[in-house]
Amino acid sequence: MKKKLTEPQALNRIAAYCSRTERSEFDVRKKLAAWELEADIADRIVDRLKKERFLDDARFARSFINDKMKFNKWGRTKISFELRRKNISPAIYEPLLEELSGDEFEEQLLHILSVKVKSVKAKNDYERKTKLIRFALGRGFGMDMAIKCVNKLLGGDYEETSP
């Protein structure tokens, strides 16, 4: 049988968990729930972590956006979707995403598409462009930016048409 954690033990463990990397309140509450702590104890722990600045959703969102953009090469749509999944308020992350210029996302998309184009097998240019656009959409970039970057990369005018 597993020994139940006391409040000070849980606080120490979760503080160590938060000090390793930025965490969202959602992640911390999920961890506390997995330890089967009562809701009022979890609330006190979360309040204390916020007061002692171990936990800050704005700081987490800034770090998350930076990491996902630089290391995972995600677009604006995918980043905002993942932040919503972690219960981060749009009021927190929308201004952070607005700070980033569209040029940064465009340069990033051009780079990943230039790498991807080498491995895409297609019968014709239309099919190649369609596959690249689908790839860009899957990475969280908008349709307009995807079409613009594919056209820059492969030339020509790709127009979205329905089959």
Q: For residues 25 and 1, which has the higher predicted lDDT (pLDDT)?
A: 25
Rg (the chain; Cα; Å): 21
Neighbours of 48 (CB within 10 A): 15
- Residue 162: pLDDT band with limits 50, 70, 90: very low
Structure pTM? 0.85
Express each pLDDT in 71-113 by its tens digit: 999 999 999 999 999 999 999 999 999 988 778 899 999 999 9
- Of residues 149, 158, 160, the one with CA closest to residue 116: 149
Cβ-based neighbours of 4, under 8 Å, separated by 6 or more = 36
